[in-house]
A and B are shown apart, each in its own frame.
Chain A
Amino acid sequence: MDVILLGEKLSKWYQMGEVRVNALRNVSFEVLQGEFIVVLGPSGSGKSTMLNIIGGMDSVSEGELYYRGQPLHSVAEKALTLYRRNTVGFIFQFYNLMPNLTAYENVALAVEIADSPLPIEEVLEDVGLGERAEHFPSQMSGGEQQRVAVARAIAKNPEILLCDEPTGALDFETGVQVLRLLKKFNQKYKKTVMVITHNAGIAEMADRVFVMKDGKLAQIRRIENPVSPDEVSW
């Protein structure tokens, strides 16, 4: 399989007043096309920073990052915007829906600027929200909101789906539903999915697990027989 993402000695630090916070230290990795990767680690271990950098939302302080051989670490903001627009889909812990747009409109918002989007109705059906398309976020439960967020990310038909604690704010049942959607997208469209979580149970459904600690990639583990989302427990 092709290498879709290549990170070499990535470091990221933030200057907070007089303190320098090292969020990422010397992280190197490879991600293959169609892989399902879970990034594990306690809070503050640098997971989100890594995801943000991979997603073109943040810049690296040092090191190199390539998407299909194209450098991402040295390009201008404009190129990163295009990368986010056409290549990446995001799912956040707190959904980040536009509060005054309906479910359908939230998806349409992302689709409008994408190159080869999937049909909005079909995606909403896929996430089981065909009936709720005209509801506003405030009229939906957390699980429903997160499914809208999943639909919004998937509908863009991105090469890489990045999910930051997608189940973090959800109860177990709803969380499993969301994981099922992610797995389905991964298998049906052969797209790369990266899920951040501090929930070790979820790791069992991945192809590979990245374990982060103190801003370092402490361990990469291969799961020989990934389980289905329904078998995951926490």
Chain B
Amino acid sequence: MLWRKLLRDLKDNKAAYIACVVVIGIGLMVFTFSAIVLENLQAAKDDFYRDYNFADGFIRVRGIPDAEINRIKQIEGVAYLEGRLVKDVRVLLPGKDESIFLRLVSTVPGEREGLNRVQMLKGEEPDGRSRDLVVAPDFFAANELNLGDILPVIAAGHIYDLRISGVGQSPEFVYALRTAQDIYPNPETFGIAHVPLSVMRSIFQEGESYNDLVFSLNPGYSYEDVEARMKPRLERYGLESMYPKKDQVSEVILNQELDQMRGMVTTLPVLFLFVAAVILYILIKRMVEQQRGQIGTLKAFGYTNREILVHYISYAVIIGIAGGILGGLSGIWISFPLTELYKEFFSLPGLESHFSLKYMLADILMATSFSLVAGYFAGTDILKLQPAEAMRPPTPPEGGKTWLEQQQLYWNCLNIQGKMATRNIFRNKARAFFTMLGITFAFAMIATTWYFQAITEVMITDQFVKVQTHSAKVVFSSPQAKDAVVREIGRFPGVNRVEPVLEVPALLRHNWHEKGSVIMGLSQDSQMYNILTDSGEKLHPPSNGVLLSSRLAELLEVKQGDFIEIDSFYNGGKAVNVEVVDVVPQYLGVNAFMEIDALSALLKQSKMATSVLVDLEQDSLSALKDKYQDSERIAVVEDRGAMLATFNELMESYGYMIYVLAIFALITGFAVVYNSSIVSLSERQRELASLRVLGMSPGEVLQILTFEQWFISIFAMITGIPLTILLIKGMADSMNNDMFSIPFIVEFFPFIMAILGTAFFVVIAQWTINKKIHKLSMVEVLKERD
């Protein structure tokens, strides 16, 4: 019978309980889909790496002969070593103006033991006898290619026609970026292709040598052991870079994404479940108080304390189970499209979602235990009462004046409703506190989501309006004599200004901290790349020492005046020490800065440049591209518009996530305010009905409740500000990576949005309560004994 009572009680208060179920559901949904997608990604990655032999180490050299490779293979700890040719070429696709590039990676047809093997997804592996290649699936799809299509590529100054024989993916290019400075894969303009070694050699006329090595380690050997033995042997072949698996671009980005998701799995759901537990606690505590008489009767009939407690906890458990099922099902459901979305970013062939009974059960278990705790604490109080005492109405809460009443100025401003409301808050401190917590949380969630929306705007405008003001950037395939290229490009019609840039990939060290980065050499009077301080003041690149981005300084734990060690293949592995002259903010990218000639000198090189920044008339851009983009010395001509477009696209994908979170926050806030009003209303029915009898209008009665809520909400908004700052810092910490670091800047807009959002859900909640007050029957309420 108690079960029937329970079900009917739930039905009578369905809106309040449904709100609670929804909040639990949202929390668990976020948990479920992030956990499942995380698991999917991790599993797909692990399987792919294992089955297709992802290498342990990567080496880039100018050229190394076959014979030497066989000798290096013998080095202790090396399990397998493979020489490759890796070359970027331009593709001439009919009907496309923009530069499209393919990175050709050599393969050995028929090799089954090799590293970074290609998983064939479509078509056939080339046999090496004809000029066939295998392209990566994202490039294949983005450019609407078909098997058998001919791709004309420009290699070593000639055009070759390569035929697509298949589509395949290698674990090395799960996240395919053209350069480490890129942020976002753009499969329309850059892709990976696997070409038989014999074909590569015939195209590039390379003979028996390689420019790229990959190796795997024997068990029990670390990368560092092998690196130390290998490096001296490689120096003479023009070692450009050597790094372990964990620093490989695709792997780095994949791991960053996994880390971010791990952060999301652990924090967000806990916050939502906490709010749900608070709501549930308030609801059940109120129900227990309201049903004092019924509890007394049950006790009088000989129901044991345990039976009664179990009954009231059952409410919480049912809500918990419902929330768990809702969260589990919706989370699993969303994990499918979300996994699909991840396929756009990461080319993991085995990546797919599936129904997960494990998470369904985990959700139910989590929701149930949270609810159990909330139910237990809410229900346990009344059991201490004697049955006879339980049947009497509760003694009125302690009277006496609240401290606010001492504040004459405040107190005198209030009408009678305000005074009643103020006292109510202080008589129900626990509930007021929990309601405040709930609203604080919702406020902070809204403010945080809008902050990220606002800050991405700031970051992009900062980068492209204040920092990088060039209209095009010409990137060379290898370092060029600085003055010659500046002169040459400066002569191009329509060019107003040319500034050389030297970008040096290097390992920066300080004590035991080490970080790979790119040192940017800029000219003293650089106008197209501006280094700015927090206050927007322009700094000149130093000739004596380096400037570090604040994230880099943080990672290396250095401050102004410290010395760091720079290790780059330009200075032949002999590290040089240099002073950190200042630390500057940098939102996009993580760099160190120096004056260009000083950087060349530091590396004991002649004055050189790896790219130039160009300011030119808009209509000269395509002419500049046409002239240079096919030149062998030039890797790419990047224009500003294309870069901005790529960025905006990336930010948009974050945008939808922000709106979804904001909506969740609104629902949560509504649920908190609605439930606390329902509770206040049912608790004070008699009081409010009496006021109606005395002649107050429903509106005036509502004022007591609304005053209370606005009072609590204003406090909640004030406490929400520090919580927002905490949340932003926490989330920024977990999101910051080598591509961007999110700064904390005081922005008013997010807080204004949060105030509006909070006001919105408070008003909506009050509006629903208003309808209930109108329905309040004075006669019934006053007749009833509660």
Contact = CB atoms under 8 A, between A and B. Distances in A.
Interface of A: 16, 48-49, 52, 55-59, 77-78, 81-86, 88-90, 92, 94, 96, 98, 100-101, 105-106, 108-110, 112-114, 152, 156
Given A52-B388, A58-B388, A100 B302 contact: no
Given A49-B388, A58-B388, A94-B785, 19 more contacts: A16-B395, A56-B387, A57-B299, A57-B386, A57-B387, A81-B302, A82-B302, A85-B301, A85-B304, A89-B301, A92-B391, A98-B297, A100-B9, A108-B1, A109-B298, A109-B301, A110-B301, A113-B307, A156-B301
Closest 9 CB pairs of A and B: A85-B302, A100-B8, A52-B388, A58-B388, A84-B302, A109-B1, A57-B387, A57-B388, A96-B297
Interface of B: 1-2, 4-5, 8-9, 12, 293-294, 296-305, 307, 386-389, 391, 395, 785
Contacts of A77: 305
Contacts of A78: 304
A48 B12 CA distance: 33
Given A96-B297, A101-B8, A108-B1, A58 B303 contact: no
Contacts of B12: 100
B300 A101 contact: no
Contacts of B304: 78, 81, 85
A111 B4 CA distance: 15
B1 A84 contact: no
A81 B387 CA distance: 10
B47 to A, nearest CB: 55
26 contacts: A48-B388, A52-B388, A55-B300, A56-B387, A57-B387, A57-B388, A57-B391, A78-B304, A81-B299, A81-B303, A81-B304, A83-B302, A84-B300, A89-B301, A90-B301, A96-B293, A96-B294, A98-B5, A100-B9, A101-B8, A108-B1, A109-B298, A112-B1, A113-B301, A113-B307, A114-B302
Contacts of B388: 48-49, 52, 57-58
B386 A58 contact: yes
Contacts of B293: 96
B301 to A, nearest CB: 5
Residue of B5, B300, B388, B785 with most partner-chain A CB within 10 A: B300
Given A58-B386, A100-B9, A100-B12, A113 B303 contact: yes
A105 B8 CA distance: 12
Contacts of A57: 296, 299-300, 386-388, 391
A6 B1 CA distance: 35
Contacts of A58: 386-389
A98 to B, nearest CB: 5
Contacts of A83: 302
Contacts of B299: 57, 81, 84
A21 to B, nearest CB: 12
Contacts of A90: 297, 300-301
Contact of A85 (B8, B9, B303): B303
Contacts of B307: 113
B394 to A, nearest CB: 13
Residue of A57, A83, A105 with most partner-chain B CB within 10 A: A57
Contacts of B301: 84-85, 89-90, 109-110, 113, 152, 156
Contacts of B296: 57, 96
Residue of B1, B8, B296 with most partner-chain A CB within 10 A: B1
Contacts of A100: 4-5, 8-9, 12
A145 B303 CA distance: 21
Nearest to B307: A113
A207 to B, nearest CB: 25
B779 to A, nearest CB: 14
A146 B643 CA distance: 81
A108 B5 CA distance: 12
A72 B286 CA distance: 33
Contacts of B294: 96, 98
A55 B300 CA distance: 8
Contacts of B5: 98, 100-101, 105, 109
Contacts of B391: 57, 92, 96
B382 to A, nearest CB: 14
Residue of B1, B297, B301, B304 with most partner-chain A CB within 10 A: B301
Contacts of B395: 16
Contacts of A82: 302
Contacts of A106: 1
Contacts of A109: 1-2, 5, 298, 301
B4 A101 contact: yes
